[in-house]
């Protein structure tokens, strides 16, 4: 494993007290590298490994510059700010002297995380970090303790999901830049909220991507769905790995980010002896040992391969947790019956029960959608290593019209699906606005400044959904209207049935946090049985001297079930069909004994607990 400085960023232009700025850039194939700023230029000196560096006495915070490689000028690949956009000069930015007030902050135990994914540009009307901070009271009252922010790396224009970022170190200027993000993190910590940042280490966006001009950041050995693969195992790959590892360390060290969510790590192509993720794990562990702070590495991965989340000592990559789409797919099929595309692999409630028991639905069986045997079992991986949800940015935004669950199912089914997630032995994640049943779509949007590229994206989106012409035209991703249509409607919180839905989520999250049987993501005691004929799922969990049982009725008819043998009375904790939550009401037993029959209303769930004697 290569030696990387844990204490400070070494790439780009860095500042140090009582010393001139230092410029360092990797350009192994260049013959001459010059930094151009104001009317001044400084020639950099070659260093080992293809790096070029030099002190730059006249360059201070706020100064703008570009590197010139063999006569051609480009922004700094490790730029911290791009105030004139992705094609403009880079700006010297000091991220090491922010006046933090979170000295007593401790990152919550991962197993206690209740996540809330949001997109900065559409979470509020203003679309800024400051506007997120202004809504923290809402998140605290909701009960979440970790926000997951979609990527903020600088992208073209001001409208983008974030996965087209091209400057991994630069915080999007229209969101509030580096200082704006630091202020948000500090404010979150003051309110007891951890911050997870989504980062993209598997590809770069198409516009403003100048990495290839500097050196072999990409390899022809592999391809990704989004273009050329980054070079993690080919010639010169050590410097590419260092570029992204230093980036991760910067977020933790200089921005006090609590966890990173690494996008689509299955597209990080690395057949080297030490996988990039494992090397990243080692350096993050080193940083934590020095600072005493705790940081988590969360991944998106669709390979159903425990190697990614197994500990390093077990020859794994050591990632702390992963998004688990299969739970979502099984839940969606159970709730809606939809079985197109990748949903075709999921049978519904039987697979949902398996997801509760085994985390991976496919753990070695034949996958008809993939046309191969897929996955391996994950019996030894704790519940906190799996993150589940009813929806997220992908599952909403990759639909042609960007419909949320609230537009696809009834209010009663929305509550049932929320229960399915928050009663699970995994880490729950909400998608912004679902807590009040937001009706605005979340659609795909970009603001490329290259007209040809913008038109290519527009046509590509139309082609992708050509078979869905009966549902209308795919929204224009380049239109500002598409972006504005995707913003949350905060006023809905105070209108019915949204206000009641919000109270329901607050209550459900409160039970998740307070009931001993639910608050620890312990998979060892989980039992889940599916009655396919009646679309009824029974979920058992235990912990802290308490047993919980939930009856989840996904059918449009009422169902009956019996309370199992217990040492004491079963206490009703929540009936989603209650009139308290805008439901039709029912006759659920509030205190029941072993063998008592309970009635579960259509598209609803009952939650009971008993305390062990």
Q: Which of the listed residues 59, 91, 123 is the one where a domain comes to its end?
A: 91
Q: Same domain, yes or no, for 194 and 55?
A: no
Q: Looking at the domain assignment, is residue 296 inside a domain?
A: yes
- 263 as an active site residue: the answer is yes
The CATH number assigned to the domain holding 593 equals 2.60.40.1180
DSSP state of 567: S
Q: Looking at the domain assignment, is residue 2 inside a domain?
A: no
Q: Is 470 helix (H, G, I), strand (E, B) or coil?
A: helix
**pLDDT value of position 192:** 98
Q: What is the dihedral of CA 19, 20, 25, 27, to 10 degrees?
A: -120
The segments of the chain whose pLDDT lies below 50 read none
Cis peptide upstream of residue 562 (ω within 30 degrees of 0) = no
Q: Looking at the domain assignment, is residue 579 inside a domain?
A: yes
Report the run of H or E that residue 56 belongs to, with start and end. strand 51-56
Catalytic residue (one of 300, 325, 358, 412): 300
**pLDDT value of position 468:** 60
Name the residue range of residue 67's domain.
Answer: 12-91
Q: Is 509 helix (H, G, I), strand (E, B) or coil?
A: helix
Q: Same domain, yes or no, for 481 and 360?
A: yes
Q: Looking at the domain assignment, is residue 47 inside a domain?
A: yes
Q: Looking at the domain assignment, is residue 3 inside a domain?
A: no
**pLDDT value of position 80:** 98
For the stretch 146-191, pLDDT in tens is 999 999 999 999 999 999 999 999 999 999 999 999 999 999 999 9
Q: What is the dihedral of CA 288, 180, 26, 238, to 10 degrees?
A: 30
Distance of alpha carbon 227 from alpha carbon 194, whole angstroms: 33
Q: Same domain, yes or no, for 498 and 586?
A: no
**pLDDT value of position 305:** 97
Q: Same domain, yes or no, for 536 and 471?
A: no
Q: Same domain, yes or no, for 270 and 122?
A: yes
**pLDDT value of position 467:** 64
Give the relative orientation of helices 237-255 and 276-291 as an angle to the nearest 10 degrees. Answer: 30
Q: Same domain, yes or no, for 265 and 326?
A: yes
**pLDDT value of position 470:** 54
Q: Same domain, yes or no, for 149 and 270?
A: yes
The CATH number assigned to the domain holding 475 equals 3.20.20.80
Q: Find out whether 296 and 110 touch, Cβ atoms under 8 Å.
A: yes
Q: Same domain, yes or no, for 417 and 457?
A: yes
Q: Same domain, yes or no, for 573 and 498?
A: no
Q: Same domain, yes or no, for 51 and 196?
A: no
- 29 as an active site residue: the answer is no
Catalytic residue (one of 76, 263, 305, 394): 263
The CATH number assigned to the domain holding 70 equals 2.60.40.10
Q: Looking at the domain assignment, is residue 237 inside a domain?
A: no
Q: How many domains does the chain have?
A: 3
**pLDDT value of position 593:** 83
Q: Same domain, yes or no, for 67 and 128?
A: no
**pLDDT value of position 471:** 67
H helices present in 113-234, as ranges: 120-123, 129-133, 136-142, 177-190, 211-214
Q: Same domain, yes or no, for 413 and 307?
A: yes
Q: Nearest-CA neighbor of 330 among 320, 344, 319?
A: 344
**pLDDT value of position 408:** 96
Q: Nearest-CA neighbor of 460 among 199, 229, 263, 226?
A: 226
């Amino acid at each position: 494993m290569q030696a990387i400085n844990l204490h400070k960023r070494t790439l780009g232009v860095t500042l140090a007290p009582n010393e001139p700025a230092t410029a360092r850039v990797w350009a192994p194939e260049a013959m001459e590298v010059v930094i151009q700023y104001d009317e001044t230029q400084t020639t950099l000196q070659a260093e080992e490994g293809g790096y070029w560096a030099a002190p730059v006495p006249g360059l201070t915070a706020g100064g703008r510059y570009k590197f010139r490689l063999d006569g051609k000028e480009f922004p700094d690949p490790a730029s911290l700010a791009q105030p004139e956009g992705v094609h403009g000069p880079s700006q010297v930015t000091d991220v090491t002297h922010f006046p933090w007030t979170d000295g007593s902050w401790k990152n919550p135990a991962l197993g206690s995380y209740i996540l809330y994914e949001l997109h900065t540009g559409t979470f509020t009307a203003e679309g800024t970090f400051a506007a997120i901070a202004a809504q923290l009271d809402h998140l605290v009252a909701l009960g979440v303790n970790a926000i997951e922010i979609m990527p903020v790396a600088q992208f073209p224009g001001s409208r983008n999901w974030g996965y087209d970022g091209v400057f991994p170190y630069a915080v999007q200027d229209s969101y509030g830049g580096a200082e704006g993000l630091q202020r948000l993190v500090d404010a979150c910590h003051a309110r007891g909220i951890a911050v997870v940042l989504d980062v993209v280490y598997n590809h770069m966006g198409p516009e403003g991507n100048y990495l290839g001009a500097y050196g072999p950041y990409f390899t022809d050995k592999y391809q990704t769905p989004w273009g050329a693969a980054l070079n993690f195992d080919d010639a010169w790959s050590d410097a590419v790995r260092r570029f992204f590892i230093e980036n991760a360390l910067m977020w933790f060290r200089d921005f006090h980010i609590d966890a990173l969510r690494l996008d689509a790590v299955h597209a990080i192509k690395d057949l080297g002896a030490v996988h990039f993720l494992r090397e990243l794990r080692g350096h993050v562990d080193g940083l934590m040992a020095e600072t005493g702070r705790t940081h988590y590495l969360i991944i998106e991965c669709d390979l159903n391969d425990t190697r990614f989340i197994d500990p390093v000592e077990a020859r794994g990559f050591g990632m702390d947790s992963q998004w688990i789409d299969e739970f979502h797919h099984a839940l969606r099929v159970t709730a809606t019956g939809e079985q197109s595309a990748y949903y075709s692999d999921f049978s519904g409630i039987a697979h949902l029960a398996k997801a509760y028991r085994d985390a991976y639905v496919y753990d070695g069986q034949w996958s008809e959608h993939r046309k191969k045997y897929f996955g391996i079992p994950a019996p030894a991986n704790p519940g906190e290593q799996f993150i589940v949800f009813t929806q997220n940015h992908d599952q909403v935004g990759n639909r042609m019209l960007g419909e949320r669950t609230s537009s696809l199912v009834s209010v009663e089914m929305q509550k049932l699906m929320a229960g399915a997630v928050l009663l699970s032995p995994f880490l729950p994640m909400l998608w912004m606005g679902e807590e009040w049943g937001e009706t605005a779509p979340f659609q795909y949007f970009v603001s490329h400044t290259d007209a040809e590229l913008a038109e290519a994206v527009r046509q590509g989106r139309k082609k992708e959904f050509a078979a869905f012409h009966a549902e209308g035209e795919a929204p224009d991703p380049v239109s500002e209207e598409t972006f504005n249509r995707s913003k949350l409607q905060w006023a809905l919180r105070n209108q019915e049935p949204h206000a009641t839905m919000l109270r329901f989520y607050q209550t459900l999250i409160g039970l998740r946090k307070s009931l001993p049987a639910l608050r620890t993501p312990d998979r060892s005691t989980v039992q889940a049985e599916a009655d396919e004929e009646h679309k009824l799922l029974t979920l058992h969990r235990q912990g802290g001297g308490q047993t919980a049982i939930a009856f989840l009725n996904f059918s449009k008819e009422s169902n009956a079930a019996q309370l199992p043998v217990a040492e004491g009375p079963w206490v009703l904790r929540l009936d989603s069909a209650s009139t308290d939550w805008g439901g039709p009401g029912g006759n659920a037993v509030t205190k029941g004994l072993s063998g008592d029959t309970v009635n579960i209303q259509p598209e609803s769930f009952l939650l009971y607990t008993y305390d062990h004697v």
